[in-house]
Amino acid sequence: MTLDLNDPELEFSDLVYAYQSWVMAIINDEKLEGEETLLTEEIAEDALNSMRFLPGEVTSAIETSLARVYDVDADELANLLFPED
């Protein structure tokens, strides 16, 4: 699903889904050592676009929730998501 930010049908939940997909793909690829790589350029691009419109509280809640579900340390997840920070 590529986000079309000009689509009048685009909903808040689409932005949340795009960001959540990115976080889950990174956890899968970096921590769970899945057999196949889930992160694609499309997922990363959609996540970056969605971050422009999602409040920090929402992205933080997504990260925190997924870190708990996949038993990943929150600080470690932050370093995986934003290694240059």
- The verdict on residue 6 lying in a domain is no
Judge whether 32 lies within some domain.
yes
Residue 77 in domain: yes
- 7/32 Cα distance (integer angstroms): 35
Domain hosting 77: range is 19-81
65: in domain: yes
Residues of the chain with pLDDT > 70: what percent? 96
Report the candidate in 11, 10, 14, 27 with the shortest Cα–Cα distance to residue 65. 27
pTM for the model stands at 0.89
Residue-wise pLDDT for 37-52, tens only, equals 999 999 999 999 999 9
pLDDT at 31: 85
Count up the domains in the chain and report the number. 1
- Report yes or no: 20 and 62 within 8 Å, Cβ to Cβ: yes
